[in-house]
Amino acid sequence: MILTMEEYCRFNLASRVTILDNEGVFLIKKKIDNKLEARLFLLYDFYVETYYSYKNHQVIKADPIRNKNWLEFFYIGIANRFNFC
C-alpha cells in the first residue's frame, strides 16, 4: 500500500518510524550537534526528515519535507543528485 504525504502525517511518531524502517529509502544524514542528527529518507514520492536524539537513542521527529528550498539549504548538494517531488 502506497501512502500519500497527508496519510503518512496521520500516523503517530512510532508508526511513522516503523513505516520508514519498512518502506523508506535512507538517503543521507547530517549531524546537527552533539545531541541531534538529521536523517533524510525517500518514502514513496516524498521526502521525510527525521531527528535522532543521541541522548535518548531514538527518533524524536519524523515529518515530511514540503519545502524544496529547505532540502537544498540544509542538505547542500542533494538537489543535484535527487529528483524532488
- As for how many domains the chain has, the answer is 1
Q: What is the pLDDT of residues 18-35, one digit of tens each?
A: 999 999 999 888 888 999
What pLDDT is recorded for position 84?
A: 46
What pLDDT is recorded for position 62?
A: 97
Residue 39 grid coordinates:
536523517
| Domain extent for 64 | 5-80
Number of Cβ within a 10 Å radius of residue 19: 19
Residue 85 domain-assigned (yes or no): no
Look up cell 531527528; give the residue: 51
First to last CA, the chain: 19
What pLDDT is recorded for position 4?
A: 95
Q: Are strands 46-53 and 25-31 parallel, antiparallel or unpaired?
A: unpaired
Residue 40 and residue 47: Cα distance in Å, rounded? 7
Residue 25 domain-assigned (yes or no): yes
Q: What is the pLDDT of residues 52-80, one digit of tens each?
A: 999 999 999 999 998 877 777 777 655 55
Q: Is the dihedral of CA 58, 60, 65, 69 positive or negative?
A: negative
Residue 58 domain-assigned (yes or no): yes
